[in-house]
Chains A and B, each alone.
Chain A
Amino acid sequence: MAHTPSPGSTPDTSSLPAAGGLSAKGLSAGSIGLLGATVIGISCIAPAYTLTASLGPTVAAVGTQMPGIFLVGFIPMLLVALGYRELNNAMPDSGTSFTWATRAFGPWIGWMGGWGLIVATVVVLSNLAGVAVDFLYLALAQLFNNPDLADLTNNVVVNVVTCLVFMALACYVSYRGMETTKAVQYVLVAFQLLVLVWFSVAALIEFGNGAAFDELAFSPGWFNPFLVPDFSAFAAGVSLSIFIFWGWDVTLTMNEETKNPKTTPGRAATLTVVIIFALYILVAISALMFSGIGTGELGLGNEEIQGNVFAALAGPVMGPFAILLSLAVLSSSAASLQSTFVGPARTMLAMGHYKAFPNRFATISPRFKSPGFATIMAAIVAWGFYAVLRVLSTDVLTDTILTLGMMICFYYGVTAFACVWYFRAEAFASARSFFLKFLAPLVGGVILSVIFVTTLIDSTNPGYGSGSNIGGLGLVFVLAMVLFIAGVVLMLLQHRANPAFFQGKTLTKGTSTDR
């Protein structure tokens, strides 16, 4: 175990036996019960934010089959998460796609795995901030009864500057090492669930009154994912579904923190996904029944509203209570924005530590004990990405979500294959390890690869996503390529500046049977 700084690797100067009663580990052990873990799971998914960002693009891809695609899209997520949990148990000292992929495949693929995770996070940060900006102005417009305020978000300068403010605040909170307290999490989650159910019921009542925008009668066929017209649409839908369940896997890896590590994570993950399924299906069906899939003003097929559906539907569906939905999405995305900073900052810190990134990324703030430099870099890059895209794209939110789906497929895929490869020596040792360490991650990885390649090819079409294009190539494709090529270039530059990581001096390749 030369690759990780285990507690014993440096001389322990705290030799006093009196210190024994203090927790030697950073995790607050045994503090989370089933309810707490479920609340954390739902917080991670941030359903209010996720739905507003994904309903439009999903309808654009698969139309009325959205409920079916949501169900199917969970399968690869589940399969990968199972492998993920095995890796987490086998290498408790490390916890990112970067370290796992490096251990399994060596430095080059490991580097790209880490890069994929960082890029996905930076993209979601910009999307979260973008949604927060829209809903801030919408909430202000609703509060002051002045629709002009909502239009401020369409002013590029105002929008980009407001986004910067959100980023800076979230970055500051993370830099200070502050965490959302449990009580705040509970309130935010309860509020989101309540308002989303309210929205759905209100939409169904409008439908019942014949007051829906574009009445569409419910059909059980919506649950059949195989009625999607072609495979490209199916792949795009699954890619988006992975985005909507993104974060769910966190519940599975909460071991030591839970009151009963044997049962709590599994039960919490199940409970979380049942709640999320019920909620997503309810909102998807009610939104379809109210708005239809046309391209009319409130139609889910309308490109103008696709990137942020609730912003358009809140008023018509909920009337005077629309501000509740605005607040739910605003709080959901703002809280998620803040907590999401922690992930890429820590991954960059780890990469800096193992010499895969410049040393500065490895600095820890002595006062706040947070990855200071990495946190600030994440904020700058995420904001820069958003600002550039805001100028280039006609619908920045839709395009970032599509890019994001691809990036998640990439790093989840790398992680899934890392699991298969790392455990290859014990894959057939027992039925359990065959299923959890080999079959599940392998199938999950293959599905994700197919989805990834399909969406990558489809996105070359200039009509893909918002229809923005550069030189006849779809903007989403260009974005993905720029991000990947930037990764390869940075990797080569780092190799040149400091080859230690790439020579396997800091993190060594190995398998589960090495120790």
Chain B
Amino acid sequence: MTRVDNYVVAYEATERGNEAIELGVALARLTAAELRLCLILPRSSAVPAKVPSSIADFDALLEEQGRLWLAGAAARVPADVTATTHLLWADSTSEGLIEAAKQFQSDRIVVGAARGGILNRFSIGSVANALLHASPVPVALAPHGYHAPEKLTRITCAIGTRPGWEALLDSLVALSNGLDVDLRFVTLIEVDAAHGRPAHPKPHPPHVPHDPAAHDQAGHDHGGADHAGAAVAGAAALHDSSAHAGSAAHLVAVLQYFRTRSTALGTVTTEVGTGTSVEAAVETLGWLPSEVVIVGSSRLARPSTIFLGITANRMLHGLPVPLIVVPNTHAHPAPPTRVPPTPAPPARTR
């Protein structure tokens, strides 16, 4: 191997920083990567005050404190993971992290996302939020109170039907390359509780047999109906509606695409999560403590930067496990031909 992967870990001497290290350790163990523990200090500028604000004194003390903090950070990393520490100055924390990722040619930025989130769930802090809007590399978000498992056993890929999902799969292929890890593909369906009745009672099997060829076409039924950049096939349907079936069928197409490329060694499964909201749909899926979720970024993002779509953002709030958001590197143009209109119920695009 010519190059060892490395991950920038956004460290600060708080719970959030520790959670970032935990997630960094978990990911580093999975992919045999190294960690770059980075502490970003604010770059001072002249403060327009009557009293000299002693920038020099303060910066020297801050730097000394920063090194102590980083020593503490390094001590938190178990012996089986290689980590280096870095003290960096920048105008803003997210800017410093992105700069560090560029300098180190890092493959990922790991950040503790949560602050005061309820029940181990996400509530995104300002730094994580800023990263999600600007990072050129995937951003891994650690939930509140996260502890690294001995080994990550499953990667769940939440995937939408919008054009561009192939890019997410390509990065998943790269990530899981040769690894002994289970893979699970999920789509989420948001059903409209107010309307209740499925608009199209035409029966569809609730789960799709893992037979790619059979449902190749159906996968595109709702190509225009889901949310930008999100992992949801939104539909105002309750039971085994065409929306559900369409999502399931889409998963088949996903599987087919993935299997022709993947070299991962674990088992591959698919699931459809259904709920009255994105959060509820996330709840219906089972989650392991030893898993991470990977989603693509919104198509609203500029090329090669992340912009978390609305649905992915809401999904985050219901998620008890770490989330990796992958930037939209090679945006495929939308297919010019629309699939004949199966009269799908109007999507709820909140």
Taking Cβ atoms with an 8 Å cutoff, the residues of A that contact B are 4-7, 9-10, 12-16, 18-19, 21-28, 31-32, 37, 40, 43-46, 88, 92-96, 99, 117, 120-121, 124, 177, 179-180, 185, 246-247, 249-250, 253-254, 257, 335-336, 339-344, 346-347, 349-350, 353, 362, 364, 366-367, 369, 371
The answer to whether A366 and B12 touch (CB under 8 A), given A5-B63, A342-B49, is yes
Q: Are B14 and A10 in contact (CB under 8 A)?
A: no
Can you name 28 A-B residue pairings with CB atoms under 8 Å? A5-B63, A10-B68, A12-B67, A14-B87, A19-B86, A22-B100, A23-B88, A24-B89, A26-B42, A44-B49, A121-B50, A124-B51, A247-B49, A250-B49, A257-B45, A343-B47, A343-B49, A343-B51, A343-B54, A346-B54, A347-B54, A349-B58, A350-B54, A350-B57, A353-B61, A367-B12, A369-B41, A369-B42
The answer to whether A18 and B103 touch (CB under 8 A), given A366-B13, A367-B12, is yes
Q: Are B60 and A342 in contact (CB under 8 A)?
A: no
B56 interface residue (CB < 8 Å to A): yes
Q: Are B52 and A336 in contact (CB under 8 A)?
A: no
Q: Are B84 and A342 in contact (CB under 8 A)?
A: no
A88 to B52, CA, bound (A): 11
The one of B12, B61, B70 in contact with A349, judged by C-beta atoms closer than 8 angstroms, is: B61
State which residues 35-78 of B face A: CB under 8 Å: 36, 41-65, 67-71, 74
Residue in chain B with minimal CB distance to A362: B61
Residues of B within 8 A of A339 (CB): 47-49, 53
A342 to B49, CA, bound (A): 8
Q: Are A16 and B104 in contact (CB under 8 A)?
A: yes
Q: Are A96 and B86 in contact (CB under 8 A)?
A: no
Residue in chain B with minimal CB distance to A15: B84
Q: Are A4 and B60 in contact (CB under 8 A)?
A: yes
The one of A46, A177, A350 in contact with B50, judged by C-beta atoms closer than 8 angstroms, is: A46
Residues of B within 8 A of A19 (CB): 86, 88, 103-104
B82 to A: closest C-beta gap in Å: 12
The answer to whether A250 and B45 touch (CB under 8 A), given A18-B105, A19-B86, A349-B61, is no
Q: A14-B84, A250-B46, A364-B61 are in contact. List 12 more A-B contacts (CB 8 A).
A: A4-B60, A14-B85, A22-B99, A28-B44, A31-B45, A93-B60, A95-B58, A257-B45, A339-B47, A350-B54, A367-B14, A369-B62
Q: Are B91 and A28 in contact (CB under 8 A)?
A: yes
Residues of A within 8 A of B52 (CB): 95-96, 249-250, 253, 343
A25 to B53, CA, bound (A): 16
Q: Are B64 and A9 in contact (CB under 8 A)?
A: yes
A118 to B: closest C-beta gap in Å: 9
Q: Are A346 and B42 in contact (CB under 8 A)?
A: no
Contact with A along B315-338 (1 / 0, CB 8 A): 000000000000000000000000
Residues of A within 8 A of B68 (CB): 10
Q: Are B63 and A26 in contact (CB under 8 A)?
A: yes
A502 to B350, CA, bound (A): 65
The 7 nearest A-B residue pairs measured at CB:
A43-B48, A343-B51, A366-B13, A26-B59, A95-B54, A247-B50, A5-B64
A200 to B: closest C-beta gap in Å: 23
Residues of B within 8 A of A26 (CB): 41-44, 55, 58-59, 62-63, 89
B216 to A: closest C-beta gap in Å: 46
Residue in chain B with minimal CB distance to A121: B51
B72 to A: closest C-beta gap in Å: 10
Contact with A along B100-112 (1 / 0, CB 8 A): 1001110000000
State which residues 256-282 of B face A: CB under 8 Å: none
State which residues 1-27 of B face A: CB under 8 Å: 12-14, 17
A99 to B56, CA, bound (A): 11
The answer to whether A336 and B12 touch (CB under 8 A), given A14-B87, A16-B84, A94-B54, is no
State which residues 206-243 of B face A: CB under 8 Å: none
Residue in chain A with minimal CB distance to B50: A247
Residues of B within 8 A of A335 (CB): 48
Residues of B within 8 A of A7 (CB): 60, 63
Residues of B within 8 A of A177 (CB): 42
A13 to B57, CA, bound (A): 22
Residues of A within 8 A of B63 (CB): 5, 7, 26
Residues of B within 8 A of A4 (CB): 57, 60
Residue in chain A with minimal CB distance to B71: A13
A35 to B: closest C-beta gap in Å: 14
A243 to B: closest C-beta gap in Å: 9
The one of A5, A25, A180, A364 in contact with B48, judged by C-beta atoms closer than 8 angstroms, is: A180
Residues of A within 8 A of B57 (CB): 4, 93-96, 99, 346-347, 350
A370 to B64, CA, bound (A): 14
A36 to B: closest C-beta gap in Å: 9
A405 to B: closest C-beta gap in Å: 13
Residues of A within 8 A of B69 (CB): 366
Interface centre among A92, A179, A246 (most CB of B within 10 A): A179
A264 to B: closest C-beta gap in Å: 12
A350 to B90, CA, bound (A): 22
A13 to B35, CA, bound (A): 13
Interface centre among B49, B51, B100, B104 (most CB of A within 10 A): B51
Residue in chain A with minimal CB distance to B61: A353
Q: Are B50 and A246 in contact (CB under 8 A)?
A: yes
The answer to whether A257 and B62 touch (CB under 8 A), given A16-B86, A16-B104, A343-B52, is no
Residues of A within 8 A of B59 (CB): 25-27
A23 to B44, CA, bound (A): 12
Contact with A along B171-214 (1 / 0, CB 8 A): 00000000000000000000000000000000000000000000
Residues of B within 8 A of A246 (CB): 50
Residues of B within 8 A of A371 (CB): 58
Residues of A within 8 A of B67 (CB): 10, 12-13
A233 to B280, CA, bound (A): 77
Residues of A within 8 A of B103 (CB): 18-19, 21-22
The one of B12, B61, B65 in contact with A350, judged by C-beta atoms closer than 8 angstroms, is: B61
A424 to B226, CA, bound (A): 77
The one of B47, B58, B62, B74 in contact with A13, judged by C-beta atoms closer than 8 angstroms, is: B74
The answer to whether A28 and B45 touch (CB under 8 A), given A4-B60, A18-B104, A340-B51, is yes
A180 to B44, CA, bound (A): 12
